[in-house]
């Protein structure tokens, strides 16, 4: 064990994701040799810091908030180990006026609300061309109001609860901040959905007339809250999209393929989806700026865990 002093245990529900435990069971049943994979449960503040700081750990990959990523990097710095970070996001979803607005806007709303908004690459800022702005707002409000919230085991339900009380309170705080900041509430709002008087359920919330300098446009909510922002032209859309501390993902929808490609190349994000194309699991997943410096998936994901060695004179001179 790298940790000589036992950690004080916490209730498993606070820090033991079921998926990790199932992964460990699968590895065991597959008879992968002991030591190739190890699962250590514990609170991140103590366990994560111990692993990041220990000299026998050569590399740390962290998925979490920007604050957590920074703390891990600080803990790892004295031992000069590599740290790969996959952190937060505030991704822009750019909608030009030449698209099938119903389809594109509805897809953006569902993309934002999926997993109860708890996705780092969620398209939480919808940038819409001014000529179709109000129509897009109306579509987004209608789609959000039609999403069913409830028991996630019910196949008709689209949104389950957020992770816990703390996250529910955080999301509620951002919704209140949006109202206080002057954004126009067009769907959802504070409190639980109708008929759900207990549990950490959040109403699918859409704000229109959002300025990009508002808290709800600049900070990661990590909940089902969508900001809709108008833009004047292509240059304005790019400027708004890039005016963010984050740079994880981006989304561009336009019938003009060359314009979509041009905008994608100008966005300072690690990933861009054109016209609703889904994620390619062989492509590198990761971001720029405060969204982290690491990559997952495909060859780039493997490269994160490799060291490069040069051997001079390995082959005999000819």
Q: Are strands 288-289 and 184-187 parallel, antiparallel or unpaired?
A: unpaired
Which of 86, 112, 220, 227 is catalytic? The answer is: 86
- Among candidate residues 151, 154, 144, the one with its CA nearest the CA of residue 175: 144
Residue 19, SS3?
A: helix
Beta strands in 160-315 (DSSP E): 184-187, 205-208, 225-231, 246-247, 250-253, 273-274, 288-289
Distance of CA 145 to the CA centre of its chain: 23
Q: Are 207 and 184 in contact (CB under 8 A)?
A: yes
Residues near 46 by beta carbon (within 8 Å), at least 6 away in sequence: 7
Task: Count CA atoms closer than 13 A to 224's CA, side-chain side.
Answer: 34
Q: Are 57 and 40 in contact (CB under 8 A)?
A: no
Which of 112, 120, 220, 227 is catalytic? The answer is: 120
Task: Count CA atoms closer than 13 A to 28's CA, side-chain side.
Answer: 8
Show the tokens assigned to 289. Answer: 């700026």
Determine the Cα angle at 11 with ends 9 and 15, to 5°. 90
- Among candidate residues 123, 160, 95, 108, the one with its CA nearest the CA of residue 244: 123
Q: How far apart are CA 234 and CA 214, in angstroms?
A: 22
Host H or E run for residue 74: helix 66-76
Q: Catalytic: 304?
A: no
- Running DSSP on this structure, what letter comes out for residue 46? I
Q: Catalytic: 86?
A: yes
Active site residues: 86, 120
């Amino acid at each position: 064990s790298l940790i000589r002093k036992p950690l004080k245990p916490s209730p498993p529900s606070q820090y033991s994701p079921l998926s990790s435990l199932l992964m460990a069971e699968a590895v065991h049943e597959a008879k992968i040799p002991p030591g190739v994979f190890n699962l250590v449960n514990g609170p991140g503040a103590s366990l994560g810091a111990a692993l990041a700081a220990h000299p026998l750990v050569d590399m740390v990959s962290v998925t979490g908030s920007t604050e957590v990523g920074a703390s891990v990097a600080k803990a790892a710095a004295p031992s000069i180990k590599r740290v790969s970070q996959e952190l937060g996001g505030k991704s822009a979803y750019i909608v030009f006026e030449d698209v099938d607005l119903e389809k594109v806007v509805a897809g953006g709303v569902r993309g934002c609300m999926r997993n109860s908004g708890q996705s780092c690459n969620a398209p939480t800022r919808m940038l819409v061309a001014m000529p179709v702005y109000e129509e897009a707002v109306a579509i987004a409000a209608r789609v959000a109001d039609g999403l069913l919230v409830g028991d996630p085991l019910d196949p008709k339900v689209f949104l389950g609860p957020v992770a816990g009380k703390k996250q529910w309170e955080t999301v509620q705080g951002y919704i209140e901040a949006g109202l206080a900041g002057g954004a126009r509430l067009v769907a959802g709002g504070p409190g639980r959905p109708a008929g759900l008087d207990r549990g950490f359920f959040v109403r699918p919330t859409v704000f229109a007339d959002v300025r990009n300098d508002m808290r709800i446009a600049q900070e990661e909510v990590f909940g089902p809250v969508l900001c809709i922002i108008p833009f004047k032209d292509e240059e304005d859309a790019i400027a708004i999209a890039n005016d963010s501390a984050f740079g994880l993902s981006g989304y561009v929808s336009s019938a003009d393929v060359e314009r979509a490609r041009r905008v994608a190349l100008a966005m300072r994000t690690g990933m861009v989806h054109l016209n609703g194309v889904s994620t390619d699991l062989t492509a590198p997943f990761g971001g720029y700026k405060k969204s982290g410096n690491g990559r997952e998936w495909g060859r780039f994901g493997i490269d994160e865990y490799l060291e490069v060695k040069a051997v001079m004179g390995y082959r005999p001179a000819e």
